[in-house]
Structure 1
Amino acid sequence: MSASRRLVIEADGGSRGNPGPAGYGALVRDPATGEVLAERAAAIGTATNNVAEYEGLLAGLRAAADVAPDADLEVRMDSKLVVEQMSGRWKIKHPSMRPLATEASGLVSRFPSVRFVWVPRARNADADRLANEAMDAAAAGRTWEPTIPQSPDPLPHQAPTTNRLSGWMAPPAPPTVTVLLRHGQTPLSVEKRFSGTVEASLTDTGLLQAAAAADRLGAEPFDAVICSPLKRARQTADALARDYVIDEDLRETDFGAWEGLTFAEVRERFPNELNAWLADPAVPPPGGESLLGTVARVAAARDRIMAEYAGGRVLVVSHVTPIKGLTQLALAAEPTVLYRLHLDLVSITTIDWYSDGPAVLRGFNDTHHVARLVVEGE
Structure 2
Amino acid sequence: MPRFVVEADGGSRGNPGPAGYGAVVLDPASGETLAERAEFIGVATNNVAEYKGLIAGLTAARDLASDAEVLVRMDSKLVVEQMSGRWKIKHPDMKPLAAEAARILPRAQVTYEWIPRERNKHADRLANEAMDAGKRGEQWEPSASSAALDASAARSLSTPPPSGPPGDAAAGAAAARAALAASRSGPDTAATAPASARTSATASALAEAAADTLWAEPGSGTGGSIPSAAPAPGRAAHAATATAPAAGQGWGPDMGAPATFVLLRHGETALTPQKRFSGSGGSDPELSPAGRRQAAAVAEALAARGTVQTVISSPLLRCRETARAVADRLGLDVTVEQGLREVDFGAWEGLTFAEVQERFPDDLQAWLDSPKAAPTGGGESFAAATRRISATRDRLLAAHAGRTVLLVTHVTPVKILVRLALGAPPESLFRMELSAASLSAVAYYADGNASVRLLNDTAHLR
Matched AA of 1:206:
G
CA separation of 1:354 and 1:168: change in aligned 2, threshold 3 A: closer
- For 1:228, the equivalent position in structure 2 comes to 314
**1:262, CA displacement in angstroms?**
1.0
Report 1:106-125 matches (<5 A): none
Distance 1:223 1:370 in 2: 22
- For 2:287, the equivalent position in structure 1 comes to 202
8 Å contact kept, 2:278–2:349: yes
Distance 1:231 1:210 in 2: 13
Distance 1:188 1:194 in 2: 8
Report 1:86-125 matches (<5 A): none
Matched AA of 2:264:
L
Whether 1:250 aligns to 2:340 is: yes
Q: TM-score, normalised by structure 2?
A: 0.44
DSSP-derived class of the 1:190 partner: coil
**1:183, CA displacement in angstroms?**
0.3
**1:221, CA displacement in angstroms?**
2.7
- For 1:186, the equivalent position in structure 2 comes to 269
**1:222, CA displacement in angstroms?**
2.3
Report 1:74-153 matches (<5 A): none
Distance 2:372 2:432 in 1: 17
DSSP-derived class of the 1:200 partner: coil
- Note the alpha carbon deviations across 1:212-266, whole angstroms, 9 max, x for none: 0111112323231100000000010111113110000100011011011111110
1:177 aligns with one of 253, 257, 260: 260
Whether 1:291 aligns to 2:363 is: no
- For 1:346, the equivalent position in structure 2 comes to 437
Distance 2:451 2:428 in 1: 16
CA separation of 1:278 and 1:168: change in aligned 2, threshold 3 A: closer
Distance 1:296 1:355 in 2: 21
Whether 1:239 aligns to 2:331 is: no
Whether 1:211 aligns to 2:296 is: yes
Name the one with the larger helix percent: 2
DSSP-derived class of the 1:245 partner: strand
More moved, 277-286 vs 176-185 = 277-286
DSSP-derived class of the 1:234 partner: helix
8 Å contact kept, 2:418–2:452: yes
- For 1:90, the equivalent position in structure 2 comes to none
- Note the alpha carbon deviations across 1:274-304, whole angstroms, 9 max, x for none: 0010111221112100112212211111111
Matched AA of 1:186:
T
Matched AA of 1:282:
K
Matched AA of 1:235:
E
Whether 1:329 aligns to 2:415 is: no
Unaligned runs of 5+ in 1: 1-93, 95-131, 136-163, 372-378
- For 1:91, the equivalent position in structure 2 comes to none
- Note the alpha carbon deviations across 1:39-62, whole angstroms, 9 max, x for none: xxxxxxxxxxxxxxxxxxxxxxxx
Q: TM-score, normalised by structure 1?
A: 0.53
Q: Which consecutive aligned stretches of 4+ in structure 1 deviate over 3 angstroms post-superposition?
A: none
- Note the alpha carbon deviations across 1:22-55, whole angstroms, 9 max, x for none: xxxxxxxxxxxxxxxxxxxxxxxxxxxxxxxxxx
8 Å contact kept, 2:343–2:380: yes
- For 1:86, the equivalent position in structure 2 comes to none
DSSP-derived class of the 1:239 partner: helix
- For 1:9, the equivalent position in structure 2 comes to none
Distance 2:293 2:309 in 1: 25
- For 1:30, the equivalent position in structure 2 comes to none
**1:210, CA displacement in angstroms?**
0.5
Matched AA of 2:303:
G
DSSP-derived class of the 2:262 partner: strand
- CA RMSD in angstroms comes to 2.4
8 Å contact kept, 2:302–2:308: no
Matched AA of 2:292:
L
Unaligned runs of 5+ in 2: 1-221, 223-244
8 Å contact kept, 1:223–1:309: no
Distance 1:170 1:184 in 2: 39
Whether 1:319 aligns to 2:410 is: yes
- For 1:362, the equivalent position in structure 2 comes to 453
Distance 2:321 2:253 in 1: 43
- For 2:372, the equivalent position in structure 1 comes to 282
Count of residue pairs the alignment pairs up: 212
Distance 2:365 2:393 in 1: 30
Distance 2:294 2:409 in 1: 14
Distance 2:274 2:335 in 1: 30
Distance 2:362 2:391 in 1: 31
**1:305, CA displacement in angstroms?**
1.5
Matched AA of 2:398:
A
Matched AA of 1:318:
T
**1:169, CA displacement in angstroms?**
5.2
DSSP-derived class of the 1:225 partner: strand
Matched AA of 2:429:
L
